[in-house]
C-alpha cells in the first residue's frame, strides 16, 4: 500500500510580472507505507515545493496527490487542516517552537488541540517521546535555554505527539553540527523502524545515507533514484552507505 502517490504532479509559480515558472513537472511518485525516503538535488530544483505540495501546505497546479488513496485537492481547508494535524508530522530547520511555553508544553500543545485521546495519555506519550529522544531532564526548561540539537529533538517530539502516519522534514538537521545531526538521524531511523513513514529533504549525503531510498530532483523533475535499503544501526555501516550514495551523486554531478 502506498501512503503517498502523485500522478502527473505539476506546480507553477507566477513571478509577479505575469510569467509562469514551472517548478514541479510531471512528477509520478509512490511512497510505500513505512519507507524512509530522502529527497536531494541542487538548490532551486523544487525539493521544498514538492514537500509542501505533498503535505497539502501548498496547492498543486495540475495532477494528483493521493494520501492513503484520498485525493488531497478534493479536501476542504478544514479537512486538510485536520488531516495535517492527525496524520502528518512536520520538522523544519526553523522549528517555530513557542518561546513562552516550556519544552513539555511545546510538545503536547497540538495533541490537546487534536483531542484524539485523554490528557493523561497525551502526557504519557510526551514523556515517552522525551525519553526516546533523550530530553526528559529538560521538560520544564524554556525553549531558549537549550541547544540547537536539543531544540530539534523537541521539534521531533512535537511532530510525533499525534502519532502521525508520515513525518515530513525540510532540512531538519540543517542548522546542526555534524555530531548533533548524526544523533537526530539515529532518532529518525528508530522512529522509522517503529513504523512511521519518513520523507525528508536534505543537502547532506551523511543525512540521506540513513534513508532507504534517495530521490534526486533536477529542474522540477524526478531525475533519478537510488536504493540503499533499510539502515540498521547495529550493522554500523553508515559510512559505507554514505560513500555509496556520494559516488552515485557524483555520477549526477551533484
Ligand X SMILES: Nc1ncnc2c1ncn2[C@@H]1O[C@H](COP(=O)(O)OP(=O)(O)OP(=O)(O)O)[C@@H](O)[C@H]1O
The number of CA neighbours under 13 Å toward the Cβ of 19 is 4
| Contact between 229 and ligand X per CB under 6 A | no
Number of residues that bind ligand X (CB under 6 A): 10
If one asks whether residue 163 binds ligand X (CB under 6 A), the answer comes out as: no
Torsion angle of C-alpha atoms 113, 51, 155, 225, degrees rounded to 10: 140
Q: Which stretch binds ligand X (CB under 6 A): 26-34, 37-45, 84-92, 222-230?
A: 37-45
| Residue 206, C-alpha cell as written in the block | 551523511
53 scored as a contact of ligand X (CB under 6 A)? no
How many Å apart are CA 68 and CA 57, to the nearest integer? 17
23 binds ligand X (CB under 6 A): yes
Assess 9 for contact with ligand X (CB under 6 A): no
Q: Where are the beta strands (DSSP E) in the chain?
A: 2-14, 20-32, 36-40, 62-67, 70-71, 88-92, 166-170, 197-201, 213-218, 221-227
46 is an interface residue for ligand X by CB under 6 A: yes
Using rule CB under 6 A, residue 47 touches ligand X: yes
Closest approach of ligand X to the CB of residue 90, in Å: 15
Q: Does 45 bind ligand X (CB under 6 A)?
A: yes
Using a CB cutoff of 8 Å and minimum separation of 24, what contacts does 58-63 make?
Answer: 58/11, 59/11, 60/9, 60/10, 60/11, 60/24, 61/10, 61/11, 61/12, 62/8, 62/9, 62/10, 63/6, 63/7, 63/8, 63/9, 63/10, 63/26, 63/27
Window 111-150: contact mask with ligand X (x via CB under 6 A)? ----------------------------------------
- Residue listed under C-alpha cell 559510512: 239
For the bound state, the minimum distance from the C-beta of residue 204 to ligand X, rounded and expressed in Å, comes to: 11
- Between CA 127 and CA 136 the distance in angstroms is 7
- Say whether residue 8 binds ligand X (CB under 6 A): no
Least distance CB 60 / ligand X (angstroms)? 13
Min dist CB 48 to ligand X, Å, is: 3
173 part of the interface to ligand X, by CB under 6 A = no
Site string for ligand X, 86-105 (x = CB under 6 A): --------------------
Residues in contact with ligand X by the rule CB under 6 A: 13, 23, 41, 43-49
Amino acid at each position: 500500500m502506498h501512503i503517498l502517490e502523485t500522478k502527473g504532479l505539476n506546480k507553477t509559480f507566477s513571478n509577479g510580472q505575469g510569467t509562469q515558472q514551472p517548478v514541479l513537472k510531471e512528477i509520478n511518485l509512490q511512497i510505500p507505507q513505512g519507507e524512509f525516503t530522502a529527497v536531494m538535488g541542487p538548490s532551486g530544483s523544487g525539493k521544498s515545493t514538492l514537500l509542501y505540495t505533498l503535505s497539502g501546505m501548498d496547492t498543486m497546479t495540475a495532477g494528483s496527490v493521493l494520501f492513503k488513496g484520498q485525493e488531497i485537492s478534493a479536501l476542504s481547508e478544514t479537512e486538510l487542516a485536520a488531516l495535517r494535524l492527525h496524520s502528518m508530522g512536520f520538522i523544519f530547520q526553523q522549528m517555530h517552537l513557542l518561546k513562552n511555553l516550556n519544552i513539555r508544553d511545546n510538545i503536547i500543545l497540538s495533541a490537546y488541540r487534536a483531542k484524539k485521546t485523554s490528557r493523561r495519555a497525551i502526557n504519557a506519550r510526551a514523556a515517552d517521546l522525551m525519553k526516546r529522544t533523550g530530553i526528559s531532564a529538560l521538560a520544564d526548561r524554556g525553549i531558549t535555554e537549550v541547544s540547537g540539537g536539543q531544540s530539534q529533538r523537541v521539534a521531533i517530539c512535537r511532530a510525533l505527539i499525534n502519532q502521525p502516519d508520515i513525518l515530513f522534514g525540510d532540512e531538519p538537521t540543517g542548522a546542526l553540527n555534524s555530531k548533533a545531526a548524526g544523533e537526530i538521524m539515529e532518532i529518525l531511523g528508530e522512529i522509522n523502524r517503529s513504523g512511521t513513514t519518513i520523507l525528508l529533504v536534505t543537502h547532506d549525503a551523511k543525512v540521506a545515507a540513513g534513508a532507504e531510498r534517495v530521490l534526486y530532483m533536477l529542474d522540477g523533475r524526478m531525475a533519478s533514484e537510488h536504493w540503499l535499503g533499510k539502515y540498521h544501526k547495529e550493522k554500523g555501516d553508515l559510512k559505507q552507505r554514505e560513500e555509496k550514495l556520494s559516488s552515485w551523486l557524483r555520477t549526477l554531478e551533484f
